Amino acid sequence: MSTENMGTGSQFIALNDASMGGPAGEPAVLEAIHLRKYYPVRQFNPLGQRNMVHAVEDTSLALYPGRALALVGESGSGKTTVARMLARLYEPTAGTIMFRGEPVKGARRADLKGYRRHVQLVFQDPYSSLNPVHNVRYHLSRPLRLHSHAHTHAQETEQILALLNRVSLSPAEQFIQKYPHQLSGGQRQRVAIARALAVHPEVLLADEPVSMLDVSIRLDILNLLLRLKDEEQLALLFITHDIASARYFAENTLVMYAGQVVEGGPSEEVISRPRHPYTQLLISAAPDPDRLGPDGNVVAPLAGGRSSLPARGEIPSLINPPGGCRFHPRCPHAMPVCSQHFPKRTELGGGHWTHCFLYGDGGTDLAVNSLGNAQEPGGDKPRPYISKM
Ligand SMILES: Nc1ncnc2c1ncn2[C@@H]1O[C@H](COP(=O)(O)OP(=O)(O)OP(=O)(O)O)[C@@H](O)[C@H]1O
Ligand code: SF4
Ligand SMILES: [Mg+2]
C-alpha cells in the first residue's frame, strides 16, 4: 500500500501481544486501536435531542498472518460494525486502524482501492452479495481487472479457473459461465470467497460466512477458509454467533457484548475456561461436548467456584445503553459498581483477559484469590461487594 495515505506510526502503541491474536514479537498485519462507532439516529424533529446508536466502544484487536481471530457475540453486539470499519466501509467515530504498522488514512477513491487490495470482506449473505444478472466469470474478472492482475482475456480465464479450483469449485470450466441462481448457497459463498481472493489480499474479514448456509455444508466452507488461511498465510477475522466453532477455527477469540469487548485470549482457554459471565452464558447456550463435565454442566470456573449461570433479559438498546458494564442488567453477579464504571482489563494469565469486576477492580490492582474473589493486594478477605449470589 502506498505510504501517501498513511501518517507516522510513532505515536501509536502496537498491540502486538498474544491476547490480540498472534505470538509476541510477530508484527500484526492489521490492527484496530480503541475503535468506536456511533451511528446518528434519523430524527424527525430537527430541534430535538440528537440520539446516537452506541454500536462499538473502545475496541482493539490485531490480526496476524496465518492466524484466525474469532469475534463472537449475540446479534446486535457490534461485530459487523467492527468488520465494516476494518474494511473502511464505515468511518470510525474514534480510534485508529493500522495496516502493517502505519495508520490508515484517506477516504479518496484511490486510497480505498489501494487498501481493499489488501483487506477483503466476505459477507454473511451469499444470496445478495452476488449480482443475479451476472455470471461467475463477470464476478471474478472485475477484481482481476480493477487491480490489474490480468491484462488479456486468456490471462483472465486462466486466473478465474485457478480461483475456482482454489475454492474447490470443480470442474472449474463448468462453473465459469454459471449465474447465481444456478448455484447452491455453498457454491455462491465459494464464489464470494474466490472474488475476495482474486486481489491476493493479506487480510480476510469473514462476517458470519456460514450462518446463512445449510448446516450440512457449513463445515466444508469453514474448512475451506481454514485451508486458505494456512496455505496463503491470510490474517483472518472470523465473525460468528457460535462460540463453539471459534475453538476449532480460530487461534484466538474476542467476545463482544452490546458494543463492549468483554473477554479475549487463546480460543482454547476462553472457551474451556470462560471467566466473564457473558461468555459463560454464550457457552451454556451452545453446548460443546468437549467442554461439558461428567454431570453435563459446563466446566467454567467463576468467582466463588460457581459454574454456569442463568442470565435474564435481552441485549439492551444501544441508543441509551446501560452505564458501566452493559451486561449488568442481565448479570446475576452484578454489583453496584458495575453500573457505574466499565471495568478495566484484568490479565488472567497465558494471554487470557477479561473486563469484569469479579476478577479485578477496574485497574486498581486487586488480586483474585483461589475462589476467584477479588481482594486487596496482600489482604486475605474478599471484598464485601463481590459475592452477591
Ligand atoms: N447503519 C446503521 N445505522 C444505525 N444503526 C446501526 C447501523 N448498523 C448497525 N446499527 C446498529 O448497531 C448495533 C450493532 O450492529 P451490528 O450489525 O454491528 O451487530 P452484529 O453483532 O453484527 O449483529 P448480527 O449478529 O445481528 O449481525 C445494532 O444495535 C444495530 O442496530
Ligand atoms: S462487571 Fe459486574 S455486571 Fe459486568 S459481568 Fe462482571 S459482575 Fe457482571
Ligand atoms: Mg452482523
Please identify, by atom number, the ligand 1 atom nearest to the C-alpha of residue 40.
Answer: 4
In sequence order, the 6+-apart residues with CB closer than 8 A to the CB of 348 are: 265, 275, 354, 359
Whether the predicted pLDDT of 15 surpasses 50: no
Which residue, 198, 215, 238, sits at the end of a domain?
A: 198
Residues 109 and 150 in one domain: no
Which residue, 167, 182, 198, sits at the end of a domain?
A: 198
What sign does the CA torsion over 258, 271, 353, 104 have? negative
Residues 191 and 244 in one domain: no
* Residue 123 · residue 192 · CB < 8 Å: yes
Q: Which CATH number covers residue 30?
A: 3.40.50.300
Question: What amino acid is encoded at 186 in this protein?
Answer: G
Is 258 near ligand 2, meaning CB less than 6 Å away?
no
Measuring from atom 29 of ligand 1, which residue has the nearest CA? 76
* Residue 314 · residue 327 · CB < 8 Å: no
What sign does the CA torsion over 279, 284, 290, 293 have? positive
Residues 263 and 152 in one domain: no
User: CA nearest 6: which of 88, 66, 89, 83?
Assistant: 88
User: How far apart (Å, rounded) are the C-alpha atoms in residues 379 and 364?
Assistant: 14
The predicted structure's pLDDT at residue 312: 61
Is 334 near ligand 2, meaning CB less than 6 Å away?
yes
pLDDT digits (tens, 9 = 90+) for 239-290: 998 898 898 899 999 999 999 999 999 999 999 999 999 999 999 887 555 5
Q: What is the Cβ-side half-sphere exposure of residue 300, based on CA atoms within 13 angstroms? A: 26
Residue 186 structural domain: 134-198
User: Which residue ranges have their beta carbon within 6 Å of ligand 1?
Assistant: 39, 53, 55, 73, 75-81, 241, 318
Strand runs labelled E in the chain: 30-40, 52-63, 68-72, 94-99, 102-103, 119-122, 203-207, 235-240, 252-257, 260-266, 346-349, 352-354, 367-368, 374-375
Residues 327 and 389 in one domain: yes
Residues 235 and 249 in one domain: yes
Please identify, by atom number, the ligand 2 atom nearest to the C-alpha of residue 277.
Answer: 5
Count of structural domains, the chain: 2
Residues 188 and 308 in one domain: no
pLDDT averaged over the chain? 82
Whether the predicted pLDDT of 71 surpasses 90: yes
Burial class (CB in 10 A: 0-12, 13-18, 19+), 29: buried
Q: Which of 81, 124, 207 to mutate to test the pocket of ligand 1 (most atoms within 8 A of CB)?
A: 81
Please state the separation of Cα 149 from the chain's center in Å.
29
The verdict on residue 256 lying in a domain is yes
* Residue 180 · residue 140 · CB < 8 Å: no
pTM of the predicted structure, to 2 decimals: 0.84
Residues 261 and 339 in one domain: yes
Residues 107 and 222 in one domain: yes
The predicted structure's pLDDT at residue 178: 95
Residues 185 and 211 in one domain: no
Residues 140 and 184 in one domain: yes
Report the percentage of the chain scoring pLDDT > 70: 79
The verdict on residue 124 lying in a domain is no
The verdict on residue 127 lying in a domain is no
Mean pLDDT lowest among 165-174, 211-220, 368-377: 368-377
The verdict on residue 89 lying in a domain is yes
The predicted structure's pLDDT at residue 288: 53
Which residue, 198, 213, 241, sits at the end of a domain?
A: 198
Please identify, by atom number, the ligand 2 atom nearest to the C-alpha of residue 303.
Answer: 7
The verdict on residue 126 lying in a domain is no
Mean pLDDT lowest among 55-64, 185-194, 300-309: 300-309
The predicted structure's pLDDT at residue 107: 66
What number is the average pLDDT over the span 171-188? 94
CA of 32 to the centre of ligand 3 (A): 18
- 27, 198, 252 from 64: Cα distances, Å: 7, 20, 11
pLDDT digits (tens, 9 = 90+) for 200-211: 999 999 999 988
Please state the separation of Cα 188 from the chain's center in Å.
22
Is 343 near ligand 2, meaning CB less than 6 Å away?
yes
The verdict on residue 128 lying in a domain is no
Residues 178 and 270 in one domain: no
The verdict on residue 123 lying in a domain is no
- 77, 97, 282, 377 from 321: Cα distances, Å: 12, 25, 20, 33
**Would you place residue 362 in the very low, low, confident or very high pLDDT band (cuts 50, 70, 90)?**
low
What number is the average pLDDT over the span 113-132? 90
The verdict on residue 244 lying in a domain is yes
Residues 282 and 387 in one domain: yes
